[in-house]
Amino acid sequence: MAMSLGMKWGHRLGLVAMLLLAAPLGAAGFQARDAVPAPALVARDLAGVERTLADYRGKVVLLNFWATWCPPCRREMPSMERLRVKMQGRPLEILALDSAEPVEDVEAFLAIMKLGFPILLDPDGVITKNWKVFGLPTSFLIDAQGRIRYSLSGPVEWDEGEALQVVESLLAELPATQDKAPNP
Amino acid sequence: MPQADRLVKTSDCFQLWLGQDDVRFFALVTMFITGLFLIRRQMRVGLLAILLLMAGVAGPLGIAAAALPDDQRYPASGDRLLLWVSYERGRAPVEASGAEALAAAGVEVWSLDPTSSYFLPQLARSMDAVPQEDVADWMQAALVSGKQVTIYAVARAAVPVLRGLAALEPAQRAAICVMLMYPNIYREAEPLAEPDYLDFGSLEGARIRILQPRRSAATPWLPGRVEALEMQGANVSSVILENLREDFWARETPTEFETIEGRRLDAILLREMESWRCR
């Protein structure tokens, strides 16, 4: 059907307006942050090795607060593992910090769900409180300079959609020598 | 409270969320749009006429002026009275059966389901819209019974309870024992920011027991909530409920232990009422 130039532009503007209106409805709820330095984080992993955020300086870090008893946390875990596999060789580190529960519960969970990224422990909830985490899951995206750039309360599919875009946007800030993104 | 008063108050409460004109407008628009999709073309004009007629009638009658459930009472002859306030998801079947069991054990129960009683959306923030005067009146009515009164509230339902408590005279406040199951008393709780707690007014003399399921994101924040209530004058103690999650009595996929504990919610409350020895 032929359309006049005015009608075409009208349709396009209408489409843009609809997309702008619809965007917040479909958004995962990432909150952009003012690039403030991340609070201190010193935690042991399951092997008893002490890890700090500084260990990952120069990489983008996805820090996820979770617990084995939290159904939405368990639901998003596989997508974090898929993200890890998808991003292999790229400067992204995924850290899952188990909040305020015994290590035995974590080990029992990991016997069922195999995950390739480090699991950090916060058995007494001190780190959870230090980071002011009030609900689970809560995630933070930290840039290569160790600054918090985004936070997210609630679960998301990490290997697709908005979550993947946000991760890629932080990776894109790195010099090309540091991140060799796969060809599209 | 006479039924007429209750209707007026409920109508007021409903208007905390939307003005009566707004309610009428949204109801009409929703019905109209739904109707257009559902019915055949020749019926649409008729539907429009009916809706316009309803809009005219709804005004003088007041759209929120429906008959409302009051509290659900479970009489008992014992000397204790438990005011049981459900949270935003409403009164769970286990809560109703728990109230029956308590009454059978001699503890009278008045069970309030705020979202149902005040026609509120099933959202945590709805609890903030429950009129504190109503809750205070409710507690005063319970005190008139001469029984030892304990009020128990879940999650955000702690907010109207604490506000109602603050509205009481100090002597009345001190006469009531308060049990709060994982109370949500934040004004704001955002990641990376210090929690901001609600100010309820004076809770001087109030005796509060917090029941905190261990498996909850709120557990690390228990000391902060205790302190916030103490700062407002309350005498606060707490107990951790091990191996349980929030609303363990109404979980979609409960653990075996949660199922067992959920079924004996009445026994848990009774145990706390007795072991706490709030007199």
Whether residue B176 is found in the same domain as residue B131: yes
Contact B246, B218 (CB under 8 A): yes
Close Cβ partners of B270 (under 8 Å, ≥ 6 residues apart)? B102, B105, B107
Q: Give the mean model confidence (pLDDT) for residues B151-158.
A: 98
- Indicate whether this complex's ipTM tops 0.90: no
Distance CA B204, CA B186 (A): 19
Strands (E), chain A: 31-37, 42-45, 50-52, 60-66, 92-99, 119-122, 138-142, 147-153
Residue B251 is assigned to a structural domain of this protein: yes
The CA distance from A60 to B131, in Å, is 48
With 0-12 / 13-18 / 19 or more C-beta atoms within 10 angstroms meaning exposed / middle / buried, residue A77 is buried
Q: Using one digit for the tens of pLDDT, what is the confidence trace for B28-62? A: 445 555 555 555 555 555 554 444 444 444 433 33
Architecture of domain A29-171: 3-Layer(aba) Sandwich (3.40)
Give the nearest chain B residue to A65 (CA atoms): B217
Share of chain B above pLDDT 70, in %: 75
- pLDDT of B61 reads 39
- Closest to B232 in 3D by CA, of B208, B250, B252: B208
Whole-angstrom distance, CA of residue B257 vs CA of residue B264: 11
CB B204 within 8 A of CB B233: yes
Q: Which residues, 6 or more positions from A21, have their beta carbon under 8 angstroms from its beta carbon?
A: none
CA distance A111 to B243: 20
Task: Decide: residue A112, CB within 10 A, 0-12 exposed, 13-18 middle, 19+ buried.
Answer: exposed
What's the domain range around B133?
Answer: 72-276
Distance from C-alpha of B271 to C-alpha of B279, rounded to nearest angstrom: 15
- Are B82 and B51 in a shared domain? no
From B31, B61, B91, give the residue that closes a domain.
Answer: B61
Q: Which residue of B has its CA nearest to A124?
A: B220
Q: In this structure, are B149 and B48 located in the same domain?
A: no
Helix (H, G, I), strand (E, B) or coil at B1: coil
The reply to whether residue A134 touches residue B189, judged by beta carbons under 8 angstroms, is yes
Give mean pLDDT, residues A5-23. 48
pLDDT tens track for B79-116:
999 999 999 999 999 999 999 999 999 999 999 999 99
Contacts of B253 in chain A (CB under 8 A): 71
How many structural domains compose chain B? 2
Q: Show residues of chain B in contact with A31, CB under 8 Å.
A: 191
